[in-house]
Amino acid sequence: MGGHAAGEIASQIAAATVDEYVASAARSSMPPDQILLAAAQEANARIYQTQRMKPEFAGMGSTLTALMILGEHYYVAHVGDSRAYLVRDSTISQVTRDHSLVWHLYETGMLRKDELSSHPQKNLITRSIGPHPQVEIDLEQGPTREGDTFLLCSDGLTDVVSDDNLRRILSDKERSPQQIGETLVAEANVRGGPDNITVVIVRVESGTAQEEDTGKYRAL
């Protein structure tokens, strides 16, 4: 989390923990949604314990948006204001909801979505990984189809690139996920690139997920 103590360390712990936990539990009998939820909770516990043991890291935290595709279903675990999108049949939908003050104002009709990024309190998030011993994890799931494209990204992208522009770029089937990711980062930088930009693209092809990622900075 930008502006918080050791946010880059918190994000590294979160990403590494989820990767490790999912890999170790992949052959277990746990349902995939429970694997992803448990992985996110373990990430929260490790970050919380780290900042408890090291006072210089007090208050550190991270957003977390994790995607698992298994068979013909997807699962997304989410905390914070990074986002997951799904583009299907040239229509874009935001899979996650932001855990932020401005998102609450948007949901209650007090702000339009295009006003979120310019609001003076846009950086106030209401939920994150690490600052507290327990955290509520959102879980979204649904069926996948051949041709589906998933985007996981930080607010460094969505603050400056509109959903409609995301849809237009992500709908281009002639370019690879890597090329699309590079285009999105370039688009954000052209528009000012005021924050770190992390982009992960996953495209479902012939029942399998093809994934590549790129970013101005990788939040790992």
Q: How far apart are CA 19 and CA 44, in angstroms?
A: 13
Residues 182, 88, single domain; the answer is yes
Domain-embedded: residue 172: yes
53 and 86: one domain? no
Instruction: Give residue 209's pLDDT.
Output: 47
Of 69, 37, 43, whose CA–CA distance to 201 is shortest?
Answer: 69
71 part of a folded domain: yes
State how far the alpha carbon of 31 is from the alpha carbons of 28, 62, 143, 206, in Å: 8, 25, 15, 23
Look at residue 112 and tell me if it is in a domain: no
Residue 105 lies in a domain: no
Is residue 219 located within the same domain as residue 151?
A: yes
SS3 content of the chain, % helix, strand, coil (to 5): 40, 25, 35
Rounded average pLDDT per 10-residue block, the chain, 220 residues = 75 95 90 95 96 89 95 96 96 97 94 91 92 96 96 95 96 94 95 87 75 42
Look at residue 120 and tell me if it is in a domain. Answer: no
The secondary structure element, H or E, covering residue 180 is: helix 177-190
Range of the domain at 27: 1-80+127-144
CB 144 within 8 A of CB 204: yes
Q: Residue 104 and residue 109: Cα distance in Å, rounded?
A: 9
Residue 188 within any structural domain of the chain: yes
